[in-house]
């Protein structure tokens, strides 16, 4: 079912409209951009307490063993398509990686989680169909070849993010508090079996919860019943991830950018660099070894006017050195901030540049990422 804007409705659509969500078409899905109090209020609520986001537009795909195989065989199959280390992923753990092109570009970024009977991958909404086509082609052109590919359209996905998230979830699923960052477990929430993962896209501690679609509204209402939790929309999700310095597909991550340029070398361990058995390995490993020609950096404006996506960056003499990929106002840092790709020789923190704005060049400088400190929880 679609809404008036043509977007596919998630299982939480009716709840969003009941709560006053301003619905938009995002990646082909009807999702709230914001609620009554607005993006800044939702952003600050997430940084100080907890925000609840509908992320059911993300693609959830399970890769299962074919007859006679087991999960390690599936891991080896997937590892040939990503630069991350998948075969060493333990059950109950998660890993961030990318689908790359033969030229070293990024098709999509994804989270892989290991379960007793499958690998689950969560991919970006705008890339789901293309990712599935790529996986099916590698699987002999079908969903049932070297591995079994299952798209979990029966699930909803919500994200509970912020410093109060763990206390809220503890009331319904106490075992969630013991999960470390990038860990996952099947836990009951008010009698509903859910997959609870300690991860998220805000830079805050928090959880993503996969729920049977028929129970999504019930679980969301349950969590929103806590005084600490506010509904939050796409606007706050974007300002939070920008402050956290997290790249976004279609902005910082494209087929024209490599993981090395994007500052994602940490996601490609030594073994995978040595094996070089993934698409674009020669180019990516060379850049990781020798340094990429350009780098993803933070940009801080000198004034109060936001620097927008697509703004050209130049030196004081007008030499073009890069372009802004995401920009806006950071409610936590209370200043205009942006991310950009800048030629390596101009990427040092503090480098003074100019961003082309509507009224001409605006002074700015290269700033360290993230703008807001990450607060992921790891056991001491």
Strand partners, 195: 186, 210
**Averaged pLDDT score across all residues of the chain:** 96
Q: What is the pLDDT of residue 2?
A: 58
Q: What is the pLDDT of residue 359?
A: 84
Q: What is the pLDDT of residue 5?
A: 66
Q: What is the pLDDT of residue 133?
A: 98
pLDDT band per the 50, 70, 90 thresholds, residue 330: very high
Write out pLDDT tens, residues 54-102. 999 999 999 999 988 899 999 999 999 999 999 999 999 999 999 999 9
Residue 6 has pLDDT above 80, yes or no: no
Residue 37 has pLDDT above 60, yes or no: yes
CB 235 within 8 A of CB 192: no
Q: What is the pLDDT of residue 358?
A: 86
Residue 185 CB neighbours (<10 A): 16
pLDDT band per the 50, 70, 90 thresholds, residue 36: very high
CB 8 within 8 A of CB 29: yes
Q: What is the pLDDT of residue 208?
A: 98
Share of the chain above pLDDT 90, in %: 95
DSSP state at residue 179 = P
Enter the tokens of residue 99.
Answer: 């689908």
Residue 1 has pLDDT above 90, yes or no: no
Residue 256 has pLDDT above 90, yes or no: yes
Long-range contacts of range 197-201, CB-CB < 8 Å, 24 or more positions apart?
197/94, 197/113, 198/377, 199/94, 199/111, 200/159, 200/161, 201/55, 201/159, 201/161, 201/237, 201/240, 201/241, 201/244, 201/246
Write out pLDDT tens, residues 130-185. 999 999 999 999 999 999 999 999 999 999 999 999 999 999 999 999 999 999 99
Give the pLDDT mean for 273-279. Answer: 98
pLDDT band per the 50, 70, 90 thresholds, residue 369: very high
Which residues are within 8 A (CB) of 26 and not within 5 positions of it... i.e. 6 or more apart?
Answer: 7, 33, 57, 125, 234
Long-range contacts of range 358-361, CB-CB < 8 Å, 24 or more positions apart?
361/314
Give the pLDDT mean for 126-131. Answer: 97
Q: In what order do the strands lie in the sheet with 155-161?
A: 184-189, 192-197, 206-212, 155-161, 50-54, 229-231
Share of the chain above pLDDT 70, in %: 98
Residue 380 has pLDDT above 80, yes or no: no
**Alpha-carbon gap, residue 160 to 202, rounded angstroms:** 10
CB 35 within 8 A of CB 22: yes
Strands (E), the chain: 8-9, 22-26, 29-34, 50-54, 59-65, 94-100, 106-114, 119-123, 147-151, 155-161, 184-189, 192-197, 206-212, 229-231, 294-301, 312-314, 320-330, 335-343, 352-357, 360-367
**Alpha-carbon gap, residue 7 to 378, rounded angstroms:** 37
């Amino acid at each position: 079912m679609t809404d008036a804007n043509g977007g596919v409705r998630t299982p939480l659509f009716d709840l969003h409209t009941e709560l006053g969500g301003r619905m938009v078409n995002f990646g082909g899905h009807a999702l709230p951009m914001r609620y009554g109090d607005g993006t800044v209020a939702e952003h600050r609520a997430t940084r100080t307490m907890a925000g609840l986001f509908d992320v059911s537009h993300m693609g959830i795909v399970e890769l299962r063993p074919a007859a006679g195989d087991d999960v390690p065989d599936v891991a080896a199959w997937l590892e040939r398509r990503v630069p991350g280390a998948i075969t060493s992923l333990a059950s109950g753990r998660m890993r961030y990686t990318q689908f790359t092109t033969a030229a070293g570009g990024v098709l999509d970024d994804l989270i892989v989680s290991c379960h007793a009977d499958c690998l689950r991958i969560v991919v970006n909404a705008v890339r789901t169909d293309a990712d599935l086509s790529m996986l099916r082609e590698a699987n002999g052109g079908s969903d049932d070849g070297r591995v079994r590919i299952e798209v979990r359209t029966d699930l909803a996905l919500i994200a509970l993010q912020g410093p109060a998230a763990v206390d809220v979830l503890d009331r319904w699923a106490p075992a969630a508090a013991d999960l470390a960052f990038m860990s996952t477990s099947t836990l009951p929430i008010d009698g509903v079996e859910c997959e609870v993962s300690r991860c998220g896209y805000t830079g805050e501690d928090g959880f993503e919860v996969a729920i049977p679609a028929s129970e999504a509204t019930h679980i969301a209402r349950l969590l929103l019943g806590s005084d600490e939790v506010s509904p939050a929309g796409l606007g706050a999700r974007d300002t939070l991830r920008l402050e956290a310095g997290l790249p976004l597909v279609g902005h910082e991550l494209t087929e024209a950018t490599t993981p090395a340029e994007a500052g994602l070398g940490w996601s490609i361990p030594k073994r995978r660099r040595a094996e070089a058995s993934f698409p674009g390995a020669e180019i990516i490993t060379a850049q990781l070894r020798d340094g990429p020609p350009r780098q993803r950096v933070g940009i801080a404006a000198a004034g109060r006017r936001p620097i927008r996506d697509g703004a050209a960056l130049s030196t004081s003499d007008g030499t073009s050195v890069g372009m802004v990929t995401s920009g806006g106002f950071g409610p936590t840092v209370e200043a205009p901030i942006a991310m950009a790709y800048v030629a390596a020789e101009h990427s040092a923190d503090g480098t003074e540049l100019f961003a082309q704005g509507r009224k001409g060049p605006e002074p700015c400088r290269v700033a360290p990422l993230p703008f807001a400190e990450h607060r992921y929880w790891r056991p001491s």
